[in-house]
């Protein structure tokens, strides 16, 4: 088939989906209630595999008996997140920029595209890289998955809803996004990535899954990347003033990383190709979160308030009815337990400095 453009796009015939181009026997992925079938020697590629969520996915797949190839360029990922896997025969790490292509040889059963700056600090610092990894890298992943006969799972985000006018947010909600705002590069990159994956699914028969990830926290988060949970924990443990943007009335819903990983595995193994929200629907205001963290840390830190950044969403809560229905999934780690674990993790990280 003819190639088109520098990213090596393939001109797939119209209605190729009806000819099952690139489809693999879905039984290779095991039952929809769990992860991939370990008896089938499944090999998984994870872009952004040394990042926060990607590295936890690598641990999970390896624990379930699968082979894992992690790809990362380390502009935001950290080598330490996968250092404990070095030397394993079932694990491979390739340092590369997936916006330039997917340098993986051999059989591949699934591609999980998690490469992207994901915190405001990072995508403000790397705006063009964020756009490229949402566009060019997504196309590379789709082309690679098609040619390998692999299933592609795209990591999308609740940020595609931006400052929502619907609450809680369902997958059918189109969002309320400022396409030229200071946070737009991440939102629009993910919206484009979703459109790309669905176009490959409809036009070329790509086996695809899309997860819309809401606020997630846990070990391996960077303490200094501006996200509220690790930032508040670090400030409280240091005895520094806790910085709240706005008046603290804005809401978020925080999901512990192990719950998210379980949901992702179930989605990958399912037969549902549309977007699925994964997050914890237990909503809390930012000020309430501060009080909880202060209590766990036994901290007397003051609380200071600064102007709310432009385009910062006022409300954020997932409707997970679809995940409950098609995946049989919902979070199991309550926030009190998760925050206690997070405080322990941040305390350990601060002691390293």
pLDDT, one tens digit per residue, over 260-291 is 999 999 999 999 999 999 999 999 999 999 99
Find the length of the chain.
353
Catalytic residue among 186, 200, 217, 256: 186
Asked whether 146 and 13 are in contact (CB, 8 A), the reply is no
Instruction: Return the residue matching tokens 């079938």.
Output: 37
Walk along the chain (353 residues) and give the pLDDT tens digit of each residue.
Answer: 333 444 556 655 544 443 444 445 544 555 433 455 444 689 999 999 999 999 999 999 999 999 999 999 999 999 999 999 999 999 999 999 999 999 999 999 999 999 999 999 999 999 999 999 999 999 999 999 999 999 999 999 999 998 889 999 999 999 988 899 888 999 999 999 999 999 999 999 999 999 999 999 999 999 988 999 999 999 999 999 999 999 999 999 999 999 999 999 999 999 999 999 999 999 999 999 999 999 999 999 999 999 998 878 899 999 999 999 999 999 999 999 999 999 999 999 999 97
Give the CATH number of domain 228-253+282-316+333-352: 3.90.25.10
Q: How high is the pLDDT of residue 177?
A: 86
Which run of H or of E encompasses 128? helix 127-148
CA gap 170, 277 in Å, rounded: 7
Q: Where are the domains of the chain?
A: 20-217+255-278, 228-253+282-316+333-352
Collect all residues with Cβ–Cβ distance below 8 Å to 174 and sequence separation of at least 6.
none
Known active-site residue 186: yes
Residue 96: C-alpha distances to residues 75, 103, 172, 213, 327 (Å): 10, 8, 35, 24, 33
- Reading phi first (left if > 0) and then psi (alpha if -120 to 50, else beta), residue 144 is in alpha
Place of tokens 């995946």: 327
DSSP β-bridge partners for residue 297: none
Residue 67 dihedral angles phi and psi, to the nearest 5°: -95, 140
**Any idea which architecture 20-217+255-278 has in CATH?**
3-Layer(aba) Sandwich (3.40)
Q: Are strands 9-10 and 3-4 parallel, antiparallel or unpaired?
A: antiparallel
């Amino acid at each position: 088939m003819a190639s088109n453009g520098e990213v090596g796009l393939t001109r797939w015939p119209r209605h190729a989906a009806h000819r099952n181009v690139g489809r693999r026997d879905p039984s290779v992925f095991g039952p929809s209630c769990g992860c991939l079938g370990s008896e089938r020697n499944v090999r998984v590629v994870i872009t952004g595999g040394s990042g926060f969520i990607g590295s936890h996915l690598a641990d999970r797949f390896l624990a379930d008996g699968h082979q894992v190839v992690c790809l990362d360029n380390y502009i935001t990922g950290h080598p330490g997140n996968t250092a404990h896997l070095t030397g394993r025969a079932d694990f491979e790490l390739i340092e590369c920029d997936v916006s330039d292509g997917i340098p993986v040889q051999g059989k591949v059963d699934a591609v999980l595209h998690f490469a992207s700056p994901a915190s405001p600090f990072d995508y403000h610092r790397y705006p063009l890289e964020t756009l490229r990894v949402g566009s060019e890298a997504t196309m590379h992943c789709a082309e690679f998955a098609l040619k390998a006969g692999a299933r592609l799972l795209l990591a999308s985000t609740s940020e595609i809803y931006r400052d929502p006018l619907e609450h809680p947010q369902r997958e059918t909600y189109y969002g309320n996004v400022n396409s030229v705002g200071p946070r737009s590069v991440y939102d629009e990159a993910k919206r484009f990535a979703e459109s790309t994956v669905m176009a490959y699914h409809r036009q070329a028969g790509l086996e695809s899954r899309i997860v819309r990830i809401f606020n997630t926290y846990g070990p391996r988060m960077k303490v200094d990347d501006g996200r509220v949970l690790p930032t508040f924990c670090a400030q409280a443990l240091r005895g520094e003033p806790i910085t709240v943007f706005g008046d603290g009335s804005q809401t978020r819903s925080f999901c512990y990383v192990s719950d998210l990983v379980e949901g992702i595995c179930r989605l990958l193994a399912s037969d549902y190709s549309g977007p699925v929200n994964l997050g914890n629907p237990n909503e809390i205001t930012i000020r309430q979160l501060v009080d909880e963290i202060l209590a766990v840390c036994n901290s007397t830190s003051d609380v200071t308030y600064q102007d709310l950044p432009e385009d910062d969403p006022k409300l954020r809560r997932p409707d997970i009815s679809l995940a409950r229905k098609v995946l049989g999934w919902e979070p199991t780690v309550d926030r009190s337990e998760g925050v206690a674990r997070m405080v322990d993790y941040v305390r350990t990280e601060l002691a390293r400095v």
